[in-house]
Each structure stands twice: as structure tokens, then as C-alpha cells.
Amino acid sequence: MREPCHQLQGKRVLLGVTGSIAAYKAAEIVRQLRKMGADVQVIMTEGATKFIPELTLSTLSQRKVMIDIFDSGDEQTWTKHITLGHWADVFLIAPATAQSLAKLSHGFSDNMLTATVLASKCPILICPSMDHDMYVHGTVQSNVKRLEELGYHILPPDYGELASGLIGFGRLPELEEIFKRMTSLLTGTLHGKHALVTAGPTREPIDPVRVLTNHSTGTMGFALAQDLARRGAEVTLIAGPTLLPSPNGITRVDVTTSADMLEAVLAHKTADYIFMAAAVADYTPVETHASKITKHQSQLTLKLERTTDILSQLGKVRRSGQTLVGFAMETDSGLENAQKKLASKNLDWIVLNNIQENGAGFGTDTNRVTLISKDGGLYPLEIMPKLEVATQLIDRILANPV
């Protein structure tokens, strides 16, 4: 193992500094990152320059600080924000003001910092820092929530004495805490692994205006994709029709029918981890009418045929070393049915959902599931938000390879 003081050797860190009084701490952040071996590129907002001189940060980082999006430095190009976004292994924004949180949560790109965030492919850790009343304001909180939903990592501020003399939440956390969180993003346990996640419903067309579908919203699959990306995996998310925004740092493939999903999944069948969380239609119309079916008959019979069971196909062609996880949505004899599916589809794990339980199933923000392993292990989880469910499922699966 490397000396702890060199734990960031060779890592490329973008440090975004915005106009909060805590910006003066950026000097110490740069100094310590450099001591840990990181290559640091600082980007400041105009506001940040009122609190700490650019010269201090460029001297400590030994790189020209970027502030103006149209200043290309020595290079004869104005695409510096793109180059930097692709260069970094991690992007730390500390401190982040209410203003920058608002811009980032709405995709603004009006300065070097916000434009580089949009162009970045690496994990982004944001450390909000401001006065207590600003931080707890509804708009700031909803911006923070939206950023989290989009896959940004947020380290909330500490409680304590603030520059205003008031006491509350708003202090930039201890640098040790910031570095711990940042390092865990860089050294996620799934670096170099490919994870495939399916999410949402499928739609099977009856005619040009009608479809067969179900109530799945995709929330559970998106939460899994987000958590896998946070751990450093390269994530492919195959999503049925859903309005959910893509988590940060994943590759998303949108599909409509179960046949489309089958094709997209088989293109990635060698992934190291596969989570088949989509609610794939079991039946599809034998025939899709070319024109709209009119209501001149008193009864209408639809002829349906079975779709291909994608998960069973994966179970047949799975390679050694791969982890295959299925989901079972049951109303009766849940445990027994889930265990049968686990065996018949050749899975390592199955996640049992009971849609009749309060706070579980389709369209809820929370879920209560039981994780079942192929060697008989049963792990019931408490009811909790779906993102937390995703984290606990993945923790358990990684801790108990079967």
C-alpha cells in the first residue's frame, strides 16, 4: 500500500472555488492535495476572487487558475472547459455558494466553472457552504436535492459558528472529511468493472395510439445505476420509457418494447454485474394494427404472445465470474415464487418486492425488499428510500460473493 501522504499520486483533481467566505480555505485544500500527490487545476468564479487572490491558488497549484471561459490561456483554443472536463479524475467544488448550486442544478454554463461541470465525465463532489438561513431555505434545499438526484455527490455543511456570528449549518466540513469522501469516489470498489442495469417498464404497441405497459417508473433501477457509478463502475443503463433524468456519469440506452430491451441487453451480456430491475412485459400483441382500432365492435379480443424472458436468456449464456441479479414482483407466496425464479433463471441473487405492502412497489419513493442469495441467504431490509435500498443491496452483494 502507498504511504497515506501519497494516496492521490497521479490523480487529476479539478478544484472549483466559489464566492463564499470559506473560499480562503481553498489555499489549504490545494496545498494538501498537492502534498498527497495530486495534480490540481483550480477554477474560480469571479466571486471567489473577492475572497482569495488568484495568485495564491496558482502559486500553490503551480497551474494558471481558470476564471474566464473565453480566456484560453496559452492555447489557441476556446474549448478549455471541455478539455478540463475530460482531463479530471474527480471534480471537487468547495466551497459551493447558493448561487452556484442554483446554476448547477439548472444546467447553467455561464462561467468557466459551470461550463466545465457540464463537460465533466468524472464524479463531482460538491461542498455547499453559506449562512444557516440561506442553506435551509427551500429553494437551496430543493437545488441540493435535485443535484443529488442527478448523481452529483453532496457533502453537507457542518454545524457550528458561522462568519455572520450566528450558529447553525453552513460551515465547510473539516478538510479531512472532504478528502475522505473525495478519495472514496476515486477508489470506488468497482473501478474497472462494467455494470449493466435495466429499469422502467416496456411498451408493447397494440395500434399506433395504444400500448400494453405497467406502472413501473424506473426509480429503483436508476437508483442502482447511480450507486454503481458512485462506486466507480462503468454503468450502462437500459431504460424503458420513463421521465427520470439520467444519473451523472452513466451511459443510457433508451428502449421502448421488450424486444428492443432484449437486443440492447444482449449487446452487453458480458458485463461483470447485471441488475435486471426493469418490469418487462410478459406478453405482447401477436399483431400490431397499422391503423387505429375503431370502437365499432361491442367486444374486442386481443391475441397476445409471450415475450422472450430476457433474464432467463442471460442465465443461459452467463459467463463465469459474472454476478446476475433478478427482481421478483409478487403478490402471493412471495418467498417461494422468488426462490423458484432464482433457481430456474440461473441467478446469483433475487430481490423480492411485495407490491401490496405500504411504501413499496411501483411509483413510491421508498421500498421494502428482501434479498435472497442462491445459497439460501435471506436478507430482509427495512423500509427506506430507494437510493438507500440500492446502496444496501449493492453493499450486501459485494460483501457476499456467491
Which residue in this structure is represented by grid cell 452529483?
152
Q: How far is the CB of 394 from ligand CTP (least distance, A)?
A: 16
Identify residues 272-311 at the interface with ligand CTP (CB under 6 A).
Answer: 276, 278, 280, 282, 307, 309-311
Of 329, 304, 279, give the one whose Cα is nearest residue 205: 304
Nearer to ligand CTP by C-beta: 44 or 324? 324
Residue of 214, 337, 346, 400 with catalytic role: 214
Only one of the segments 169-177, 216-224, 291-299, 327-335 lies at the binding site for ligand CTP (rule: CB under 6 A); that segment is 327-335
Nearer to ligand CTP by C-beta: 140 or 351? 351
Nearer to ligand CTP by C-beta: 130 or 310? 310
- Size of residue set near ligand CTP by CB under 6 A: 14
Nearer to ligand CTP by C-beta: 295 or 303? 303
Q: How far is the CB of 25 from ligand CTP (least distance, A)?
A: 47
Q: How far is the CB of 315 from ligand CTP (least distance, A)?
A: 9
Q: How far is the CB of 393 from ligand CTP (least distance, A)?
A: 13
From residue 265, alpha-carbon distances to 133, 185, 221 in Å are: 47, 27, 14
Q: How far is the CB of 249 from ligand CTP (least distance, A)?
A: 24
Query: Pick from 97, 217, 258, 364: which binds ligand CTP (CB under 6 A)?
Result: 258
For residue 95, say if its preceding peptide bond is cis, omega within 30 degrees of 0: yes
Only one of the segments 118-126, 215-223, 324-332, 370-378 lies at the binding site for ligand CTP (rule: CB under 6 A); that segment is 324-332
Query: Pick from 51, 273, 327, 349: which binds ligand CTP (CB under 6 A)?
Result: 327
Distance CA 218, CA 3 (A): 43
Query: Pick from 94, 228, 255, 329: which binds ligand CTP (CB under 6 A)?
Result: 329
Q: Is 217 in the site for ligand CTP (CB under 6 A)?
A: no
Nearer to ligand CTP by C-beta: 35 or 306? 306
Nearer to ligand CTP by C-beta: 283 or 379? 283
Nearer to ligand CTP by C-beta: 227 or 309? 309
Q: How far is the CB of 309 from ligand CTP (least distance, A)?
A: 4
Tell me if 397 sits within 8 A of 236, measured CB to CB: no
Q: How far is the CB of 265 from ligand CTP (least distance, A)?
A: 8
Nearer to ligand CTP by C-beta: 101 or 280? 280
214 is catalytic: yes
Q: Is 196 in the site for ligand CTP (CB under 6 A)?
A: no
CB atoms within 10 A of CB 93: 26
Only one of the segments 176-184, 239-247, 323-331, 375-383 lies at the binding site for ligand CTP (rule: CB under 6 A); that segment is 323-331
Query: Pick from 326, 369, 387, 390: which binds ligand CTP (CB under 6 A)?
Result: 326
Question: In the 3-class helix/strand/coil scheme, how is the chain assigned residue by residue?
Answer: CCCHHHCCCCCEEEEEECCCHHHHHHHHHHHHHHHCCCEEEEEECCHHHHCCCHHHHHHHHCCCCECCCCCCCCCCCCCHHHHHHHHCCEEEEEEECHHHHHHHHCCCCCCHHHHHHHHCCCCEEEEECCCHHHHCCHHHHHHHHHHHHCCCEECCCEEEECCCCCEEEEECCCHHHHHHHHHHHHCCCCCCCEEEEEECECCEECCCCCEECCCCCCHHHHHHHHHHHHCCCEEEEEECCCCCCCCCCCEEEECCCHHHHHHHHHCCCCCCEEEECCECCCEEECCCCCCCCCCCCCCCCCCEEECCCHHHHHHHHCCCCCEEEEEEEECCCHHHHHHHHHHHCCCCEEEEEECCCCCCCCCCCEECEEEEECCCCEEECCCEEHHHHHHHHHHHHHHCCC
Only one of the segments 14-22, 118-126, 138-146, 320-328 lies at the binding site for ligand CTP (rule: CB under 6 A); that segment is 320-328
Burial environment of residue 81 by CB neighbours within 10 A (0 to 12, 13 to 18, 19 or more): buried
Q: Is 328 in the site for ligand CTP (CB under 6 A)?
A: yes
Q: How far is the CB of 312 from ligand CTP (least distance, A)?
A: 7
Which residue in this structure is represented by grid cell 460483501?
399
Binding stretches for ligand CTP (CB under 6 A): 258, 276, 278, 280, 282, 307, 309-311, 326-329, 341
Active centre residues (catalytic): 214
